[in-house]
């Protein structure tokens, strides 16, 4: 573990014994020389931190030397004994020497030890800043309290307990002022007065931002921020004579200040003043962008003041905040309602300047959101690098400030050395250490300037990469648009082809059906016309080969209509000329049989004609298939003519 050194030649703060020049511990009580005089802790042996103290620490030559009096650890305190590489907490209570070592039997009574006394609760440290600027360059006054406590005793001991002393409100305020102000400027500089005035959760957001930002810085030193309480956050307006016109309370702790929390902004600023403030904000962003673009690779030209660098960081945070609002918005109107109108107008102007062709409002909004996303990505890259550099510089400054505090304390302790020669030598050594610390501070400033220059180079590189990404995105969008147009054209062409083929199929099918209907109607008409003729006309119109047959058929039909008497008379008439009655009867019978045969033959012929007609219709139907929806289609067609559905081969 650590080993603290006292101050030779100094008086003991506990027993006030005078010690020699080379002594590190008091020869009487064994306390480390150089510890601050703290009567409750050192004299009364009541381990309790003062009202403005976070921790008191000192060392003893032998642990048993603590018990010059009964040791008391109150409920409001926490006490630790560091021996070797271990830190042991001493529970609340009163201890005599034997009971103490019986209860904490792993501690060595005759070995060196360091004592750390801290409070059980956190120590609130108040801060006040009067000139924090918003995005419109309006000054805001902030007052809040940061509650700090010791979280990791070994880490705290490595950085703070290199010599006996105390850490109180004043030391913590000096250590934390720079990082706290930086976090506050980042938060306020990224927002406008209107945004903060309309945000009901502003106080909680500010507390969370400060607590989260300090957490990573203080964890390395064994400290922790328990909570942050914003007492007030307000904007004061002054006239030309610096007389206060009014105040706008953005956030206030009602437990401490009883004021009207809500006051309308238009009571302080009219429309013309708001327009002027918006123009000032836009001009500040433009000037900062132009200043970054003018930077050269030479460090001498790239150096910016710390104030300018902080302002640039706030502007970058503001840009990221506005880009995020655009990405969260679902439409242009919603982005305007969320206060991102200035950045939205800038993006629209850039798109118009580049001649971007947008077909509709939805595509235009997608283009704007994509551009905002690319811009936000570039700004985040720079902001993350800036945050890493800021954290590194903040840790260096924190350690350097702690070193300066220790040097100042050593100088104060050296003034109490009675030996003049030793006192002078010690003061000379400490003054030299103080000068070395001053040179180290200047080196840290130079490192910060170099880091700022590197950040500017990174910023310019990020913006060039931003332009490349935007060009890549636009090329991709153009390619997608060409592919979409080509695909649409192909689909339209295919749809037209399908429609044309369907129409042709319908027309062909209609022509075939119409021709078939005409042929069928013509056959029916011919049959009806031939059937309606008288026998003489039929005989006259019949062809020569069929005339005899038709004559015989007509005779047979006439005979079929005769009764038996008529047939007998006809046979008698015929027989009177050539035939006998039997021959005539036989002839009539044969004629009757022949007539029946002709009738059967005619019926078979009609049946054959009907079968042939049905076969022709079936052939036409066979040549026509059906689609998925039941429509008839012909062979060789790929799509249905009625509905356009694709056909299976």
| pLDDT tens readout for residues 170-207 | 999 999 998 999 899 889 988 888 888 878 888 899 99
| pLDDT tens readout for residues 242-252 | 777 777 788 77
Q: With 50 as the cut, is the pLDDT of residue 272 above it?
A: yes
What mean pLDDT value characterizes the chain? 77
| pLDDT tens readout for residues 57-113 | 998 888 888 888 889 999 999 999 998 878 999 999 999 988 898 888 888 888 889
* 75 shares its domain with 206: no
In a domain? residue 605: yes
- Residue 545 has a pLDDT of 62
Give the mean model confidence (pLDDT) for residues 492-512.
82
CA 180, CA 129: separation in Å to the nearest integer? 10
pTM for this model (two decimals): 0.59
* 94 shares its domain with 188: no
Q: With 90 as the cut, is the pLDDT of residue 124 above it?
A: yes
Say which CATH number the domain at 186 has.
3.30.479.30
In a domain? residue 314: yes
Higher pLDDT, 349 or 486: 486
Give the mean model confidence (pLDDT) for residues 354-369.
62
Give the mean model confidence (pLDDT) for residues 426-442.
82
* 611 shares its domain with 562: yes
* 514 shares its domain with 372: yes
In a domain? residue 284: no
| Contact yes or no for 314/137 (Cβ under 8 A) | no
In a domain? residue 274: no
Per mean pLDDT, which of 149-153, 282-286, 556-560 is the most reliable?
149-153
Give residue 299's pLDDT band: very low, low, confident or very high (50, 70, 90): very low
CA 158, CA 57: separation in Å to the nearest integer? 12
In a domain? residue 239: yes
Mutual angle of helices 306-328 and 271-293, in 10-degree steps: 110
| Contact yes or no for 116/203 (Cβ under 8 A) | no
- Residue 77 has a pLDDT of 92
Give the mean model confidence (pLDDT) for residues 260-279.
68
Higher pLDDT, 385 or 60: 60
CA 202, CA 26: separation in Å to the nearest integer? 54
* 329 shares its domain with 388: yes
Give residue 511's pLDDT band: very low, low, confident or very high (50, 70, 90): confident
CA 521, CA 527: separation in Å to the nearest integer? 10
Last residue of a domain, one of 85, 101, 120: 120
Give residue 300's pLDDT band: very low, low, confident or very high (50, 70, 90): very low
Count of domains observed in the chain: 4
Give the mean model confidence (pLDDT) for residues 407-434.
77
* 243 shares its domain with 294: no
> Which residue from 75, 107, 70 is spatially nearest to 91, judged by alpha carbons?
75
- Residue 578 has a pLDDT of 56
Q: With 70 as the cut, is the pLDDT of residue 314 above it?
A: no
- Residue 618 has a pLDDT of 57
- Residue 153 has a pLDDT of 92
Backbone angles phi, psi at 21, to 5 degrees: -65, -30
| pLDDT tens readout for residues 80-91 | 999 887 899 999
In a domain? residue 275: no
- Residue 302 has a pLDDT of 42
| Contact yes or no for 213/387 (Cβ under 8 A) | no
Last residue of a domain, one of 98, 120, 142: 120
Higher pLDDT, 505 or 209: 209
Q: Give the largest CA-CA distance in the chain.
A: 193
Strands 53-60 and 113-119: antiparallel
CA 56, CA 266: separation in Å to the nearest integer? 52
| pLDDT tens readout for residues 438-474 | 888 888 877 777 777 777 777 777 777 777 777 777 7
Last residue of a domain, one of 103, 120, 137: 120
Four-CA torsion 298, 304, 306, 312, nearest 10 degrees: -110
**Does residue 53 sit in helix, strand or coil?**
strand
In a domain? residue 569: yes
Q: How many other C-beta atoms can be found within 10 angstroms of the C-beta atom of residue 178?
A: 14
Q: With 80 as the cut, is the pLDDT of residue 338 above it?
A: no
In a domain? residue 282: no
28: DSSP letter: T
| pLDDT tens readout for residues 618-647 | 555 555 567 777 777 766 677 776 777 777
**Residue-range definition of the domain harbouring residue 235:** 122-269
Higher pLDDT, 254 or 600: 600
- 176 by Cβ neighbours in 10 Å (0-12 / 13-18 / 19+) ranks as buried
Give the mean model confidence (pLDDT) for residues 338-354.
70
Lowest average pLDDT, out of 187-196, 340-349, 359-368, goes to 359-368
| pLDDT tens readout for residues 512-553 | 887 788 788 877 877 776 666 555 555 555 556 666 666 666
Give residue 142's pLDDT band: very low, low, confident or very high (50, 70, 90): very high
Give residue 1's pLDDT band: very low, low, confident or very high (50, 70, 90): very low
Give residue 308's pLDDT band: very low, low, confident or very high (50, 70, 90): low
CA distances from 60 to 31, 82, 146, 313 (A): 5, 11, 33, 48
* 469 shares its domain with 577: no
* 149 shares its domain with 51: no
Give residue 306's pLDDT band: very low, low, confident or very high (50, 70, 90): very low
- Residue 313 has a pLDDT of 64
- Residue 374 has a pLDDT of 74
* 208 shares its domain with 349: no
- Residue 453 has a pLDDT of 72
- Residue 478 has a pLDDT of 73
* 255 shares its domain with 295: no
| pLDDT tens readout for residues 43-55 | 888 999 888 999 9
> Which residue from 320, 314, 330 is spatially nearest to 372, judged by alpha carbons?
320
- Residue 129 has a pLDDT of 93
Give residue 156's pLDDT band: very low, low, confident or very high (50, 70, 90): very high
* 619 shares its domain with 495: no
* 515 shares its domain with 431: yes
């Amino acid at each position: 573990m650590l080993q603290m050194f006292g101050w030779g030649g100094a008086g003991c703060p506990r027993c006030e014994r005078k010690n020699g020049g080379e002594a590190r511990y008091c020869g009487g009580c064994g306390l480390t020389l150089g510890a601050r005089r703290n009567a409750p802790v050192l004299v009364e042996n009541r381990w309790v931190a003062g009202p403005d103290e976070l921790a008191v620490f000192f060392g003893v030559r032998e642990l048993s030397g603590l018990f010059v009096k009964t040791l008391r650890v109150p409920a409001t305190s926490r006490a630790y004994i560091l021996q070797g590489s271990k830190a042991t907490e001493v529970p609340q209570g009163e201890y005599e020497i034997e009971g103490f070592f019986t209860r904490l039997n792993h501690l060595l009574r005759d070995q060196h030890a360091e004592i750390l006394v801290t409070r059980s609760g956190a120590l609130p440290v108040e801060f006040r800043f009067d000139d924090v600027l918003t995005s419109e360059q309006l000054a805001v006054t902030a007052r809040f309290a940061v509650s700090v406590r010791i979280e990791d005793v070994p880490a705290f001991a490595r950085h703070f307990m290199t010599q006996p002393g105390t850490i109180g409100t004043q030391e913590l305020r000096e250590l934390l002022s720079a990082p706290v102000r930086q976090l506050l400027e980042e938060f306020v500089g990224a927002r406008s007065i209107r945004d903060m005035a309309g945000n009901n959760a502003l106080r909680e957001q500010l507390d969370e931002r400060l607590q989260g930002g300090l957490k990573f810085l203080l964890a390395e030193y064994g400290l922790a921020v328990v909570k942050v309480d914003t007492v007030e956050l307000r904007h004061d307006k002054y006239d030309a004579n610096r007389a206060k016109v009014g105040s706008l309370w953005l956030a206030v702790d009602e437990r401490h200040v009883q004021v009207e929390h809500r006051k309308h902004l238009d009571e302080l600023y009219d429309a013309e003043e708001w327009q002027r403030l918006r123009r000032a904000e836009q001009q500040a962003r433009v000037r900062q962008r132009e200043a970054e673009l003018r930077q050269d690779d030479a460090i001498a030209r790239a150096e910016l003041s710390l104030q300018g660098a902080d302002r640039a960081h706030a502007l970058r945070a503001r840009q990221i905040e506005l880009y995020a609002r655009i990405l969260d918005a679902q439409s242009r109107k919603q982005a305007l309602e969320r206060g991102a109108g200035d950045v939205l107008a800038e993006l629209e102007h850039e798109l118009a300047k580049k001649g971007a062709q947008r077909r509709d409002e939805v595509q235009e909004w997608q283009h704007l959101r994509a551009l905002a996303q690319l811009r936000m990505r570039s700004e985040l890259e720079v902001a993350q690098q800036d945050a890493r550099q800021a954290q590194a510089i903040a840790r260096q400054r924190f350690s350097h400030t702690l070193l300066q505090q220790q040097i100042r304390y050593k100088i104060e302790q050296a003034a109490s050395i009675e030996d003049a020669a030793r006192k002078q030598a010690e003061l000379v050594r400490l003054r030299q250490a103080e000068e070395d610390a001053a040179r180290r501070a200047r080196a840290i400033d130079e490192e910060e300037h170099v880091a700022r220059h590197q950040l500017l180079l990174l910023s310019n590189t990020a913006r060039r990469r931003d332009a490349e990404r935007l060009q890549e995105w636009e090329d991709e969008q153009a390619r997608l648009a060409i592919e979409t147009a080509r695909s649409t054209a192909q689909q339209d062409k295919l749809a037209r082809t399908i429609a044309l083929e369907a129409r042709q199929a319908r027309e062909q099918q209609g022509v075939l059906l119409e021709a078939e209907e005409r042929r069928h109607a013509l056959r029916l008409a011919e049959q009806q016309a031939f059937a309606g003729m008288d026998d003489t006309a039929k005989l006259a119109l019949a062809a020569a080969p069929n005339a005899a047959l038709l004559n015989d058929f007509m005779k047979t039909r006439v005979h079929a209509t005769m009764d038996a008497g008529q047939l007998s008379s006809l046979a008698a008439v015929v027989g009177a000329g050539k035939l006998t009655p039997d021959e005539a009867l036989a002839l009539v019978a044969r004629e009757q049989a022949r007539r029946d045969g002709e009738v059967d033959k005619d019926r078979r012929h009609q049946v054959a004609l009907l079968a042939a007609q049905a076969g022709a219709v079936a052939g036409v139907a066979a040549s026509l298939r059906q689609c998925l929806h039941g429509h008839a289609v012909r062979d060789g067609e790929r799509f249905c003519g009625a509905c356009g559905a694709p056909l299976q081969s």
